[in-house]
Amino acid sequence: MIDHRKVWLIESFSQGSVLNVGCGGLKIPSALNLDLKRNHKPDLVADVSHLPFRSSVFNTAIAFDVIEHLDQPEKFLSEIERVSRTVVVECLNFDSTPENWKTDPTHRFYINNTTFRRLLRNYKIFELNKMLVAVKGRKIVVPKLNFKLWRIKKIASKSIHTK
């Protein structure tokens, strides 16, 4: 089951053509789901640091739990900003979830409030219960997060496919 916070982000920021960058097992219907690993069965296999698209071809690019796996997150950000008008980047705050950082050997870039804000200084940043979120490219209002969990679980089971 997909995390209810991600469902909310998808519903809030997915407009028009959507690129789901580094999709892993999370497939967003009506989005182009891109990943480097074929075993995730993305719609397109590509390197997130060298996206095979013209500039501004997508309305929105979403990157959930990707940035911490990169040696050069700045190059990745430059690429997703190039191909889309709105960018949404999400990662767990490893200061709040140190076990997540320690147990995944593919993590390369330590994310906490300081590193996230430094890296994404031109973004609007907010936190969703240990999850750091940055949005760039359109005017947003930071949400008042009064989730109705039953509604979100219902939406998640119908609209978002996970492996």
Q: Which tens digits make up the pLDDT trace of 5-15? A: 899 899 888 88
DSSP secondary structure of 23-74: -TTEEPTTEEEEES-GGG--SEE--TTS--S-TT-EEEEEEES-GGG-S-HH
Of residues 147 and 89, the one with the higher pLDDT is 89
d(Cα 48, Cα 23) in Å, to the nearest integer?
A: 11
Average pLDDT taken over every residue of the chain? 87
C-alpha distances (whole Å) from 121 to each of 77, 115, 134, 135, 163 are 12, 10, 9, 11, 33
- The mean per-residue pLDDT over the stretch 18-38 comes to 95
Q: Which two tokens mark 12?
A: 């809030």
Q: Of 18-27, 30-39, 138-147, give the lowest mean pLDDT range.
A: 138-147
Kind of pairing between the strands at 44-45 and 26-27:
unpaired
Q: pLDDT, tens digit, for every residue of 113-155?
A: 999 999 999 999 988 888 999 999 876 655 555 444 434 444 4
Which pLDDT score is estimated for 128? 86
Sketch the domain layout of the chain as residue ranges.
4-162
Token couple for 66: 């990707």
Which superfamily does 4-162 belong to? Vaccinia Virus protein VP39 (3.40.50.150)
Residue with tokens 């609209």: 159
pTM given for the model: 0.85
